[in-house]
Amino acid sequence: MGKTVGIVIPAYKPNVSRLVSYASSLLHEIDSSEVHIELDDPADEINLNSTSLPAAISVNKESRRRGKGAAITHGFETLDTEYLAFSDADGSTPIESVRDVISGLARTDLCVGSRRHPDAVIEAHQTIFRRLLGDGFAWIARKLLDVQLFDYQCGVKAITREAWQKIRTHLYQPGFAWDLEFVAIAHASGYDITEIPITWHDNAGSTVNPVTTTLELGRTLLQLRFRTHSIGIGQQTYSQETATSLVEQIENNQ
């Protein structure tokens, strides 16, 4: 691959044996990789230490649930590599697809893994309810945002360090809406984004609440319409507080 690669795995109440196996595979099968696990609110029975993980895999444990976005951001700030990537702890994205996403950085600034791309391979689907919510959200996001993707929320993405350093101060979302903010802010900042079709296998036991997460994503979409447009036309960016205030005004007038 030629570049140093750092991979963050955000984890909250993970299947420990699956996480250990997945992190170890990422370390051994992706060239020049450094793997870092960000573990939120670890239960007493979770024991990720030097006896269960290779020494080259680092772990940061937090006593509370910060959210996926906050965990990835902290992980990226911990790493000092030329490429930065993350992949969800459940191992739904196989190592080969993670490698494809990272390799795409040779020709672009940000690579987004995609389960909804026409060339993606789905080995095991989500429930029909989750699929309908996901498809509906992706359709709405394409209508409201300038960045046009098949899949905004897939759990594997990679970015160059240069691009990350430029957009990091514009990222506020601590939870699952961070993925959406990540790609929207990068696009508004002028960085090239490439969507990479992946192989994907849904694993049971997700900690994502589909209803509350969808509401969170919808609110973030409205905020991003203001913030990305201000970035795109070269004006002063809206802060999170300003964007939230504008959204609340719209909601109160409906």
**In the CATH hierarchy, which top-level class contains the domain 5-126+153-205?**
alpha beta
Give the mean pLDDT of 12-32. 90
Cα–Cα dist 254/249, whole Å: 9
The string of pLDDT tens digits covering residues 125-172 is: 666 767 777 788 888 888 888 899 999 999 999 999 999 999 999 999
Q: Provide the whole-model pTM.
A: 0.83
Rounded to the nearest integer, the mean pLDDT of the chain is 83
The string of pLDDT tens digits covering residues 88-124 is: 999 999 999 999 999 999 999 999 999 999 999 986 6
What share of the chain in percent tops pLDDT 90? 54
Domain assignments of the chain as residue spans, ordered by start: 5-126+153-205
Burial letters 217-229, b for 16+ CB under 10 A, else e: bebbbbbbbbbbe
The string of pLDDT tens digits covering residues 188-223 is: 999 999 999 999 877 665 556 666 777 777 788 878
DSSP H or E segment with residue 214: helix 210-232
C-beta of residue 182 within 8 angstroms of C-beta of residue 164? no
Cα–Cα dist 196/107, whole Å: 12
